Structure 1
Amino acid sequence: MRSFGVLICALWLWLAGGAIAQERVVNVYNWSDYIDPKVIEEFTKETGVKVVYDTYDSNEVLETRLLAGKTGYDVVVPSGPFLQRQIAAGLYQKLDKAKLKNLKNLWPEVMGRLAAYDPGNQYAINYMWFTTGLAYDVEKARERLGGETPNSWDVVFRPEILKKFVDCGVYVLDSPEDLFSVALQYLRLNPDSRNQNDLKRAADLLGVARRNVKKFHSSEYINALASGDICLAVGWSGDSFQAHNRAREAQNDVVIDYVIPKEGTLMSLDNLAIPKDAPHVEEAYAFIDFLMRPEIAARNTNATNFANGVLASKPLVNKDILDNKAIYPDPATMARLFTVRAYDPATQKFITREWTRVKTGK
């Protein structure tokens, strides 16, 4: 009986051990359409860690969840200004860089820009970076611009030009941080201005454009462009090239292109961070480190058309993406890109109110 008891105990421990192993999980909250799905499968196959992967389409949604506490997420992907504000609010853990062996693969210039939000790169690793610009249906744009294609913010901020696109549809990002900064840049003001008079001028300019905008949304424009339902969008570079690829796959004769306007634009950085109350910290480190492998970062770029923060991945990125200056800008274009800091509470309140006025016309 004693040996039988020992056997039963050993069997129970074996089953319990297996159950514990099966319970290893990492809960990830990321932007939609922002990873190669097979990367998730390979991470689980290699590590045994199950990935529970949820998505959102605005920084505000992520921030609301974080501020509510106990999100259950282990890895989240905030953009630069939101990251800055959330670090100040104590929402993230400092990274233990000893657990990230692939840090050596990161892009120093990109991490330097990230340091504007996270001094010393203590809390976050860049995942992807991109620009805000103009995505358009090539044929319809040429029809409306006398054979030319857009290369300036004039197409949005000069009503006589934007009206030419009303009949085929215009979408604009529902992102005040993007739109206020590019409007300020267009007005030759500081795109990072906190001056309420400057911000009011930007809001007035955006309000004029709004009359010709079909919809404000930060993800629907991808399929709308690809299907030919709209012909112009203020969008993000990677999303715009996803629209290009989807139209090509559909073989619907729609050709989508994207341009960084000549006046310059916002460079945005989406970054990997571990919430303060993450329940699976070791698994979070494993997942982040996996994403920093050059071959994995390149595959995510190839799948999403967003530039990644891993310099060592560039030789593995598809040539048509790497050579595309709208995704990987040349030095002259990089010099025209700017970043903006997180808004202080008073400015954020003003921006929120003005953005509501822009979208509603009230």
Structure 2
Amino acid sequence: MDMRRVIVGLFPLIGFVGGAGSVAADQLVLNSYGGPYEEIIRSRIIEPFEAETGIRVVYDAVGSSSQDYAKIKATGGKPGFDVVVMTATQALQGCKDGLLEELPSDVIKELAHLSSRLADAAGPCGAVHEVQYMSLLYRTDHIEGVPSSWSLLLDPALSRRVILPTFQNVMAVNLLQVMSVMNGGGLVDNLDPGFAAMAAIARQSIGFEQSSALLESYIKDGSVWAMPFWNGRAQLLVDSGAPVEYVRPSEGTIPLIATLSVPVGAENKEAAYRFIDFFLRKSSQEAWVAGYRVGSARTDIDVPDELRDRQITEAELDQLHLPDLSVMAERMPEWSQRWDRDVVPAAR
């Protein structure tokens, strides 16, 4: 996924020139997504945050969330940013590795308003700021009717009309897990059926892309007719008037629990906690859900009527596939190597 480095100054930036190398010590760096995410977070979160606190926010591109965690690990928890947007899997791994701070609930008071089940899933080092799920996105002008199965991606009629995320995008991992369960395997154990199915999909795909912005460009221009995609981003495409729709297939899907975390070597932890607290606020979560078309870990927010039936509620979690995120974090390196060995060459 596209990522951005968000520089949040404790005071107005004076004489700021150039990229991250010129960031002063009293400023705060937050890694966050690019593309539509950047546009929406500026208007829904950053601008109100700036108006209330006087803190200035500047974006600077970096890498994917997995690459950012790799940087956190490589630098011993001093990656040069103070808040990072990742997934619950990485937040759990960072806690285990001692590279992310346990978030203080006495300082970040809005943590108390999050669903305990989702908060527990992310662990003490991750603040859940949004919830999505992997949907099946398709072109309504090329797919007849409403598809009900992930098997659509294996339909011979879609040969060279499918695209896949790279393994660095957790969506690839989730699709691997769903395909594994569909074919008699498990979510974290016995993934052989999943790897075999993913190789089959790769053989009729046009290849792989890492960022959501690039993935969606293929279905927008019609070169791709179906692909996995996060439901929030899928809803934005629907809202734009593109000839697309998305579904939760009958075989189920996996939720994306997105988190905000603070590396142990962050230089501006107090400001980092303040930003997280603001993002989790009821009004901020309502603005974020309405703007980015995602779900929230708060159960007390007002959700627009047109989104209510397309979101995951806490009560629906039992209807989804919920892999053990701690086990996932441990096995991701092994799965990545196998993906490169068994899935990527099948697309060539």
TM-score by length of 2: 0.82
Give the aligned partner of residue 276 of structure 2: 288
| Partner Cα separation in structure 2 for residue 82 and residue 284 of structure 1 | 18
User: Match for 2:231 among 233, 237, 250?
Assistant: 237
Code of the residue aligned with 2:94 in structure 1: it is Q
Residue by residue over 1:257-288, the C-alpha shift from the partner in whole angstroms, topping out at 9 and shown as x without a partner, is 11111111211211111110111111111100
Give the aligned partner of residue 177 of structure 1: 173
| Partner Cα separation in structure 1 for residue 328 and residue 66 of structure 2 | 15
Code of the residue aligned with 1:291 in structure 2: it is F
| Partner Cα separation in structure 1 for residue 289 and residue 61 of structure 2 | 18
Percent of pairs with identical residues: 20
Point out where structure 2 has 5 or more consecutive residues left out of the alignment: 1-8, 14-25
Q: CA distance change for structure 1 residues 190 and 29 in 2, over 3 Å: closer, same or farther?
A: same
Q: CA distance change for structure 1 residues 27 and 243 in 2, over 3 Å: closer, same or farther?
A: same
Structure 1 or 2: larger helix share?
Answer: 1
Code of the residue aligned with 1:164 in structure 2: it is A
| Partner Cα separation in structure 2 for residue 199 and residue 275 of structure 1 | 32
Residue by residue over 1:236-262, the C-alpha shift from the partner in whole angstroms, topping out at 9 and shown as x without a partner, is 11121222223x1xxxxx321111111
User: Match for 1:89 among 81, 97, 107?
Assistant: 97
Question: Is 1:45 aligned to residue 51 of structure 2?
Answer: yes
| Partner Cα separation in structure 1 for residue 96 and residue 315 of structure 2 | 32
Code of the residue aligned with 1:200 in structure 2: it is D
Give the aligned partner of residue 150 of structure 2: 153
| Partner Cα separation in structure 1 for residue 316 and residue 296 of structure 2 | 19
Give the aligned partner of residue 145 of structure 1: none
Q: Is the 8 A contact 2:138 2:244 kept in 1?
A: yes
Give the aligned partner of residue 3 of structure 2: none
* Greater Rg by CA: 1
Determine helix, strand or coil for the equivalent of 2:32.
Answer: strand
Code of the residue aligned with 1:355 in structure 2: it is W
| Partner Cα separation in structure 1 for residue 107 and residue 245 of structure 2 | 40
Q: Is the 8 A contact 1:29 1:76 kept in 2?
A: yes
Quote the RMSD (CA, aligned, Å). Answer: 2.5
Determine helix, strand or coil for the equivalent of 2:258.
Answer: strand
Question: Is 1:26 aligned to residue 28 of structure 2?
Answer: yes
Residue by residue over 1:156-206, the C-alpha shift from the partner in whole angstroms, topping out at 9 and shown as x without a partner, is 2xx4x2x21236x2122223422321121111322121xxxx223321221
Give the aligned partner of residue 157 of structure 2: 164
Question: Is 1:225 aligned to residue 219 of structure 2?
Answer: yes
Q: Is the 8 A contact 1:132 1:267 kept in 2?
A: yes
Deviation at 1:332, TM superposition (A): 5.4
User: Match for 1:101 among 106, 109, 118?
Assistant: 109
Give the aligned partner of residue 320 of structure 1: 306
Give the aligned partner of residue 113 of structure 1: 121
Code of the residue aligned with 1:46 in structure 2: it is E
User: Match for 1:140 among 139, 142, 152?
Assistant: 142
| Partner Cα separation in structure 1 for residue 281 and residue 289 of structure 2 | 12
Range with bigger deviation, 95-104 or 259-268: 95-104
Q: CA distance change for structure 1 residues 21 and 266 in 2, over 3 Å: closer, same or farther?
A: closer
Q: Is the 8 A contact 1:186 1:263 kept in 2?
A: yes
Determine helix, strand or coil for the equivalent of 1:99.
Answer: coil
TM-score by length of 1: 0.79
Q: Number of residue pairs matched? A: 314
